[in-house]
Chains A and B, each alone.
Chain A
């Protein structure tokens, strides 16, 4: 066991693992195919053997039924899947990917590292973050931290300047889209505002392209109303080609795709212009979200202007993205190592955590005066990180005039700095002789707050027993959120002197489910 630690970018379509090498540089570790990125695809070869990565992606063509991709989109939700007679969850499947990444990295370094930091989209809520942590636990790893992808990308820049600069990180990954406004200087990262869409990513571009290719093929082959995508073989081959075609259109003006369905075998040509037209609505969504996050940041910091725009995530490499940012927003984006920056930043964060030179709650970390400068921190001795809440948190109340009408009142809001502790919120009992109060904690589910409980995620509830009190008696509520975004609501009855805590039911998997998943995953070997 060593002091080493890995940073892992667990992406929707590709994953990357990195570490800080002996020269203090963030270094991406290559997999068995000498590639820095590993497809986040798992092929269940049998009930005790899986393949992860490029080979699994190839297996998807001939055995789509036993291949799983894009599982990150279901993290934090109840989404069971059966493979080879075994029931898996998004967490257990992600654990297999993490296990493979770490095994290869250890092979490469000759070490036995188990400590990792895993990145999540900034827009992930509490349940999704905890699901990611659980995936690491199920993989038998020691998750020392969860860091958001835009922060990791900013860390990978190794900003050395003394003057703070305002960055906008535009992170378009395979499955999610994040935008984050960050104030950065040497040794200090402050997240000002975040926004995004956790179901918008490169996979949607692939889907739009697959749809375009299918329409052109159907017209060319004279299929009429026949939908070839209902054929599993056609669908698998199409999806396999769609991503490659998308990448090809990044470099060339047109690409040709072979489509086979029944006795039809056609070469379909797609131009970059057609692809851009078919995905214009997707680009427009990212532009809207980018505008929104800047507006949110400017409301928090009057006069704030964006100094630099960073493009992160493999899907940001598409020429249409840069063109849209220039034409719609007048920005001149800086390209990073699109698909490697997040992992490198995660490695930096991980090493800082292991070296105990990081403070994730905004305070200066305690380091010795003669402590060495860290090359990976751009020459700084420590790293101070402040984050914001990604989703609002609130409590369910009922209206005095209509006890059947429940509504959610938000005590903390998205983009509030964390860690944070709210002011006391005074609630009141609704009936005479009430002997308990049901306290329910909610997390905002939509892109904007909604008072309707149906529009929010019910995290946890607890009942506070109270002495028989008249209607209108006070109950004090205090909400506390940690730097990792974990929430605890304390309800206090000043009359009875009792209090209860409602800690967010932060994952859909109970601990016994996690143990069961660990046992399942440990019984599965990875074929390299």
Chain B
């Protein structure tokens, strides 16, 4: 059979990589093989499995197989098991083992078998000692065997070995998860009934009842079925006198509960679950497992089943001790702590002082709880439900699980609400309170005039069965002393004492507004009908006050005011209260400034100063004017109302103005120099905007930076850094004395890569200016001169024939023409691979350096082998240093390969 390397890797090498124990065993065998152990060490391993050797392989097949295996190991450099197995094979060969002989492998298998037998016996003995109940599951045996290095042994062989030492192997089983009805649990507290089986089979008390695989007893096995329950009930009814009364009652209840299990399987599950419970309870007491098993046997359970049950539950059941009692006591589970303490017998090695201490703690807690209970009872007698509640809460804190305490608390009235507040809000009134620590409480809200109500019906019930701790009275009586009371209850029968708050609602005037004239202000408002009068207080900017008592309801005009000065008007309602008293509402306020009509600024002037700019305009009485800077192309209509938000949306900003001295009737301000040309708009402020005045354009135009002129053949390329902003650029130059001009945008510049001027030698006086335009108006920055190189040196033209072969070898033929002088010229041929041509001799590889002699002939031609070049590539000629000549480049299509 062909050796499947993939499967071998998957089934042998990879699992071995992950099994640390087996790897260590393999390494130990290798160490033993190198040491005193000799080749007998390998008997511990399943060599046939590790090397995928089949027992049927002939010598020839074995030899070829091992050779292939070794070559496969050579490829698996990163797999540790592969390298270990390769090493093992090498060591076996070195030790003289005839690894290609099938007898060698048969011998290994036999040796392994022998070794295993001895180890198996040791293993069985160890299991028998470890598990005194002498029952184990098949899974456990397999796991323990694997840990002991006994892999690959059939389960039957393992079981047989264990049986020799009295240990039997059984399948695992599940403890049913069923809810045990309380009557079924309770009936086993009576000595007449050891288990529920006794209840069903009374008066018979069978022994050796099988409970795990099925619920049965006797030989031949008799299963317990639902019909047995019916029979048991009848027997109980007939034999009333034979059974103690309470036990009989309990049995009747249990049998009645059992009728809810209509199948034998369900009865079985219930019985097994109940026995498991019992077993766990016994184990938790710290009883030895064997003792627990014997106890179960005494209760009628078959010994084997008892052992299996104990073995299964022993691993997961925790034995409880005095520490657990103390924990429960600290957590407030007094009853549980007491029950546990009484159930735990004294353990070997237990400190008697510790038991005494815990007993004393228990007694103290019980005494404390009894004291609180006494307080509760006394308070109830006095009908002091508050004290009674407090005492019950205290008792519950000691024993949190005492249901009777909770029941008593549930029927006591709750504590009254706390922290009650009443807040007037206009014509309404908001109530709020708190009820700390109370749950499931409802509230009654009652309103009275004057004294607090004695009960929830003693007044106007505004709300009942309220669960929130706030309430809003929308239309309380006005100008009347009120009392609000809140009662708490759990069941609507018994109520707490009320929490109360007094309040009086005096609404203020509503909708107070003001309109201003030049020297007067007219106020208007609406007066609550209950108010007797409204009083208006006028406060000036200098703090002086004047009180007005308007005769006309809801209106007042105040004259003789100073134009442009702000006044504050506050209005209160006056109410007549019972007992001839007067009450005033909260004040409502409004500010007003008498001033003239608003107008837009139409005479804005701006002039440059050393510090920036100075601006003036005719003052607008009673109004302030702001100056906004917008982009020069912004649209603002003079005389129209404009909001500040709209100005900001047009990328406008408010200028910071510094006051300057000016003649009367004129406002003068100063501001910092503007970095660019802007549209300045004066705005007469009125609210969140104002009237836009006539705008002016001012500011400075930024210039281009780092202008540069480069020669590219016969062209002059002009480039520069653009200033920030949206501008045009005006380029001026002269050619042979004739001025030229070009206007271009940034997009034009980018598309062309700058400005290209032909006939470079004749170009002079290049300059660049920034252009700002707004409508028909145009502003230019100062022109920036562009430096252009001096007069040209002698020019040599050259042409190129560039080639690149299929295999990537490049070559070029260069022809140079020099018509302007005779002599020799140093020429550098530069190669550059990439997208761009070399800009200098250093920006590429100099593939050729030669002197061209034009003394006899104006033409020089030479060819170059460029070697292997990557496409695209460029060839360009440069003059040698200090040559005093200039090469005129051919078209770029010639230069590129």
Contact between chains at A34 and B868 (CB < 8 Å): yes
Docked complex: B53-105 residues within 8 A CB-CB of A: 67-68, 70-72, 74-75, 77-79
Q: Output the least CB separation between A479 and chain B (Å).
A: 28
Instruction: Tell me if A468 counts as interface (CB < 8 A to partner B).
Output: no
Docked complex: B1-50 residues within 8 A CB-CB of A: 5, 14, 17-18
Contact between chains at B75 and A65 (CB < 8 Å): yes
Contact between chains at B74 and A81 (CB < 8 Å): yes
Contact between chains at A229 and B71 (CB < 8 Å): no
Instruction: Tell me if A108 counts as interface (CB < 8 A to partner B).
Output: yes
Contact between chains at B72 and A82 (CB < 8 Å): yes
A74 to B14, CA, bound (A): 25
Contact between chains at A82 and B68 (CB < 8 Å): yes
Which residue from B74, B79, B807, B870 sits with its C-beta under 8 Å from A80? B74
Contact between chains at B868 and A80 (CB < 8 Å): no
Instruction: Tell me if B176 counts as interface (CB < 8 A to partner A).
Output: no
Docked complex: A1-49 residues within 8 A CB-CB of B: 30, 34
Contact between chains at B868 and A79 (CB < 8 Å): no
Docked complex: A477-522 residues within 8 A CB-CB of B: none
A494 to B71, CA, bound (A): 48
Contact between chains at B17 and A227 (CB < 8 Å): yes
Contact between chains at A34 and B870 (CB < 8 Å): yes
A229 to B80, CA, bound (A): 12
CB-CB under 8 A from B71, the residues of chain A are 80-82, 87
CB-CB under 8 A from B77, the residues of chain A are 70
A235 to B82, CA, bound (A): 16
CB-CB under 8 A from A229, the residues of chain B are 78
Instruction: Tell me if B808 counts as interface (CB < 8 A to partner A).
Output: yes
A225 to B17, CA, bound (A): 12
Secondary structure type dominating chain B contacts: helix
Q: Mark A227-259, 1 if CB is under 8 A from B, else 0.
A: 101100001000000000000000000000000
Task: Decide: A34 near B808, CB < 8 A? Known: A227-B18, A230-B17, A230-B18.
Answer: yes
CB-CB under 8 A from A82, the residues of chain B are 68, 71-72
Q: Output the least CB separation between A528 and chain B (Å).
A: 11
Contact between chains at B78 and A107 (CB < 8 Å): no
A contact residues, total (Cβ < 8 Å): 17
Contact between chains at A108 and B868 (CB < 8 Å): yes
CB-CB under 8 A from A107, the residues of chain B are 807
CB-CB under 8 A from B75, the residues of chain A are 65, 81
CB-CB under 8 A from B78, the residues of chain A are 229, 235
A81 to B72, CA, bound (A): 7
CB-CB under 8 A from B18, the residues of chain A are 225, 227, 230
CB-CB under 8 A from A108, the residues of chain B are 807, 868
CB-CB under 8 A from B5, the residues of chain A are 65
CB-CB under 8 A from A79, the residues of chain B are 74
Q: Output the least CB separation between B239 and chain A (Å).
A: 64
Q: Output the least CB separation between A105 and chain B (Å).
A: 12
Q: Output the least CB separation between B93 and chain A (Å).
A: 11
A34 to B871, CA, bound (A): 11
Residue of chain B at shortest CB distance from A69 = B77
A34 to B18, CA, bound (A): 45
CB-CB under 8 A from A70, the residues of chain B are 77
Docked complex: A66-86 residues within 8 A CB-CB of B: 70, 74, 79-82
Q: Mark B594-627, 1 if CB is under 8 A from A, else 0.
A: 0000000000000000000000000000000000
From A65, A108, A229, A230, residue with most partner B Cβ within 10 Å: A230
Residue of chain A at shortest CB distance from B71 = A82
CB-CB under 8 A from B79, the residues of chain A are 230
Contact between chains at B868 and A30 (CB < 8 Å): yes
CB-CB under 8 A from A225, the residues of chain B are 18
Task: Decide: A230 near B870, CB < 8 A? Known: A34-B808, A81-B74, A82-B71.
Answer: no
Q: Mark A85-118, 1 if CB is under 8 A from B, else 0.
A: 0010000000000000000000110000000000
A162 to B5, CA, bound (A): 61
Q: Output the least CB separation between A309 and chain B (Å).
A: 29
CB-CB under 8 A from B72, the residues of chain A are 82
Residue of chain B at shortest CB distance from A207 = B78
A272 to B808, CA, bound (A): 38
Contact between chains at B17 and A80 (CB < 8 Å): no
Q: Output the least CB separation between B71 and chain A (Å).
A: 4
Q: Output the least CB separation between B760 and chain A (Å).
A: 38
A80 to B72, CA, bound (A): 9
Residue of chain A at shortest CB distance from B14 = A230
Q: Output the least CB separation between A18 and chain B (Å).
A: 14
Residue of chain B at shortest CB distance from A210 = B78
From B14, B75, B807, residue with most partner A Cβ within 10 Å: B75
Residue of chain A at shortest CB distance from B20 = A225
Contact between chains at B808 and A80 (CB < 8 Å): no
A376 to B659, CA, bound (A): 85
A82 to B808, CA, bound (A): 37
A79 to B73, CA, bound (A): 10
Docked complex: B608-649 residues within 8 A CB-CB of A: none
CB-CB under 8 A from B68, the residues of chain A are 82
A462 to B688, CA, bound (A): 113
CB-CB under 8 A from A87, the residues of chain B are 71
Residue of chain A at shortest CB distance from B869 = A34
Q: Output the least CB separation between A237 and chain B (Å).
A: 14
Q: Output the least CB separation between A424 and chain B (Å).
A: 35
A227 to B17, CA, bound (A): 9
A376 to B224, CA, bound (A): 107
Q: Output the least CB separation between A91 and chain B (Å).
A: 14
CB-CB under 8 A from B807, the residues of chain A are 107-108
Q: Output the least CB separation between B868 and chain A (Å).
A: 5
A107 to B809, CA, bound (A): 12
A74 to B71, CA, bound (A): 13
Q: Output the least CB separation between A496 and chain B (Å).
A: 35
Docked complex: A313-370 residues within 8 A CB-CB of B: none
Q: Output the least CB separation between B486 and chain A (Å).
A: 56
Q: Output the least CB separation between B715 and chain A (Å).
A: 34
Docked complex: B772-799 residues within 8 A CB-CB of A: none
CB-CB under 8 A from A30, the residues of chain B are 868
A107 to B75, CA, bound (A): 33
Q: Mark A135-146, 1 if CB is under 8 A from B, else 0.
A: 000000000000
A101 to B70, CA, bound (A): 30
Q: Output the least CB separation between B876 and chain A (Å).
A: 22
Contact between chains at B14 and A80 (CB < 8 Å): no
Q: Output the least CB separation between A455 and chain B (Å).
A: 14
Q: Output the least CB separation between A475 and chain B (Å).
A: 30
A109 to B79, CA, bound (A): 44
Q: Output the least CB separation between B520 and chain A (Å).
A: 76
Residue of chain B at shortest CB distance from A29 = B868
Residue of chain A at shortest CB distance from B865 = A22
A230 to B74, CA, bound (A): 16
Q: Output the least CB separation between A43 and chain B (Å).
A: 14
From A81, A82, A87, A227, residue with most partner B Cβ within 10 Å: A82
A227 to B868, CA, bound (A): 46
CB-CB under 8 A from B14, the residues of chain A are 230
A230 to B78, CA, bound (A): 9
From B17, B18, B71, B77, residue with most partner A Cβ within 10 Å: B71
A107 to B808, CA, bound (A): 12
A65 to B77, CA, bound (A): 12
CB-CB under 8 A from B808, the residues of chain A are 34
A344 to B122, CA, bound (A): 70
Name 12 A/B residue pairs within 8 A (Cβ), A-sorted: A34-B868, A80-B74, A81-B71, A81-B74, A81-B75, A82-B72, A107-B807, A108-B807, A108-B868, A230-B17, A230-B79, A235-B78
Interface positions of B (Cβ within 8 A of A):
5, 14, 17-18, 67-68, 70-72, 74-75, 77-79, 807-808, 868, 870
Interface positions of A (Cβ within 8 A of B):
30, 34, 65, 70, 74, 79-82, 87, 107-108, 225, 227, 229-230, 235
Besides the contacts A80-B67, A80-B70, A229-B78, what 13 more A-B pairs have beta carbons closer than 8 Å?
A34-B870, A70-B77, A80-B71, A81-B71, A81-B75, A82-B72, A107-B807, A108-B807, A108-B868, A227-B18, A230-B14, A230-B17, A235-B78
Would you list the 4 A-B pairs with minimal beta carbon distance, nearest first? A82-B71, A30-B868, A80-B71, A230-B14
